[in-house]
C-alpha cells in the first residue's frame, strides 16, 4: 500500500519534515517514491510547502494519508497566509530537488 507521510530531517531538537509518497512498509526516513513538499513545525508563516496537484494525483491512485499529513494539508488549504508565505519563501523547483532552480 502507498502512503503519504512525513519523513523526519533536521538536527536533534530541531525537527523538519519532508512530505513523501512511500510504500507503507518502508522505514520512516528510508527510500521514497516522490517528495511532494515539506513541513517545519517550528515556524508559522511559510513553514509548509505542498504540491497539492501531486497529492491529489497520488490519492486518486489509492494512496492513504497519514493522520498528521491530513492535518497539515487541511491547515495548508484553510490558511491563505500560510500559502502566501510559502510561495514567497521558496520556488517549487527547489522543493522537488531540482538543482540550480533556487538561484
CA 31-34-35 angle, 5° bins: 95
- All domains of the chain, ordered by start, with CATH? 2-95 (3.30.1320.10)
pLDDT confidence tier of residue 102, bands split at 50, 70 and 90: very low
Question: Does residue 93 carry a pLDDT above 50?
Answer: no
Please compute the mean of the pLDDT values over residues 79-95 and round it to a whole number. Answer: 55
From the number of C-beta atoms within 10 Å of its C-beta (0-12, 13-18, 19+), residue 67 rates as exposed
Question: Does residue 101 carry a pLDDT above 50?
Answer: no
For the stretch 11-67, pLDDT in tens is 998 988 999 999 888 877 778 888 999 988 887 666 888 889 999 999 999 999 999
For strand 34-39 and strand 48-50, is the pairing parallel, antiparallel, or unpaired? antiparallel
Please compute the mean of the pLDDT values over residues 1-14 and round it to a whole number. Answer: 90
Q: b/e string for 4-40 if b means 16 or more Cβ within 10 A?
A: bbbbeeeeeeeebbbbbbbeeeeeeeeebebbbbbbb
Amino acid at each position: 500500500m502507498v502512503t503519504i507521510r512525513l519523513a523526519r530531517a533536521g538536527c536533534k531538537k530541531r525537527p523538519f519534515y519532508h512530505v513523501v509518497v512511500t510504500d507503507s512498509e518502508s522505514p520512516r526516513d528510508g527510500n521514497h517514491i516522490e517528495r511532494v513538499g515539506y513541513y517545519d513545525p517550528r515556524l508559522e508563516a511559510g513553514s509548509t510547502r505542498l504540491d497539492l496537484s501531486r497529492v491529489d494525483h497520488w490519492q486518486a491512485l489509492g494512496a492513504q494519508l497519514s493522520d498528521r499529513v491530513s492535518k497539515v494539508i487541511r491547515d495548508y488549504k484553510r490558511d491563505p497566509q500560510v500559502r502566501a508565505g510559502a510561495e514567497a519563501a521558496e520556488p517549487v523547483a527547489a522543493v522537488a530537488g531540482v538543482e540550480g532552480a533556487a538561484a
